[in-house]
Amino acid sequence: MSDVITRFGSLDDYEKGGVEIINDDPRNYVFSNVFEVAKTNAPYARVAVGINFEYVIEAARAEGTSPWYTCAHDEFVLCMDGDVEVHLVKLARPDDHVDPEHEGAVQLADAMPEGRKMGRLVLGRGHQGLLPVGAAYRFHAEKPAVILVQTILGDVTVQKWAEICQTTA
C-alpha cells in the first residue's frame, strides 16, 4: 500500500486557496473554486468559471437528469466528483436544432430528440468524455456530482463573475 495521499476535491470536502495581494486587484485573477460554484448553484446551471475570448469552462452540479443539449462543435466533459452518466443521440436533423455556425451549447425542448442512439458513458472522478458535434446529450447522476465542460460561450452559459470570484484582498 502506498502512503502517498493525492488530494482531490469534492462537493463535500474542498479547501479553497486564494489570492494574497501585494500590489494588485484580486479581480485580475478571476479566482474561484469549481466545487463551491457547483455546490451553490442550481443543478445543471452551467456557470462559467473560466473565459478566454469566446471560449469558456463551465462548472455544474450534476444531480438527477439534465435537459438535452446539442452543439455545433465538439465539447468535452470532465467529471471532478461523483459519477455521471452521459447519454448520446445522433440527431436526425442537427441543423433543425442549432445553426452550424452557432457557438456554445443549446438546450433542446424535446423530452427525447429524434435520432439514433449512439451510446452511453459512465464517468467517475477524473474521467473525460467527448460530447461530439452533431449529437444530443444529457447527463444523469443518482447522487450530486461535479462536471466541467470545455466549450464556447453560448446560450446556456451563466456568467456571474462578481458572485463566484474573490474580489477583496
Q: Which residues contact other proteins (rule: CB under 8 A)? A: 2, 4-9, 14-24, 26-36, 49-53, 55, 57, 73-76, 78, 80, 86, 88, 90, 116-130, 132, 135, 148, 150-152, 159, 161-162, 165
Q: Minimum distance between the CB of residue 70 and other proteins, rounded to whole angstroms? A: 14
* The residue to which cell 461530439 is assigned: 132
Q: Minimum distance between the CB of residue 27 and other proteins, rounded to whole angstroms? A: 6
* The residue to which cell 452557432 is assigned: 102
| CB neighbourhood size of 18 (10 A) | 11
| CB neighbourhood size of 144 (10 A) | 17
Q: Minimum distance between the CB of residue 72 and other proteins, rounded to whole angstroms? A: 11
Q: What is the three-class DSSP state of 28?
A: helix
Q: Which is nearer to other proteins, 81 or 109 (CB)?
A: 81
Q: Minimum distance between the CB of residue 127 and other proteins, rounded to whole angstroms? A: 4
Q: What is the three-class DSSP state of 36?
A: helix
Of 57, 143, 38, nearest in space to 105 by CA: 57
Q: Minimum distance between the CB of residue 167 and other proteins, rounded to whole angstroms? A: 8
Q: Which is nearer to other proteins, 9 or 67 (CB)?
A: 9
Q: Which is nearer to other proteins, 65 or 109 (CB)?
A: 65
Q: Which is nearer to other proteins, 42 or 169 (CB)?
A: 169
Of 67, 45, 69, nearest in space to 58 by CA: 45
* Separation between Cα atoms, residue 104 and residue 118, nearest integer Å: 21
Q: Which is nearer to other proteins, 65 or 150 (CB)?
A: 150
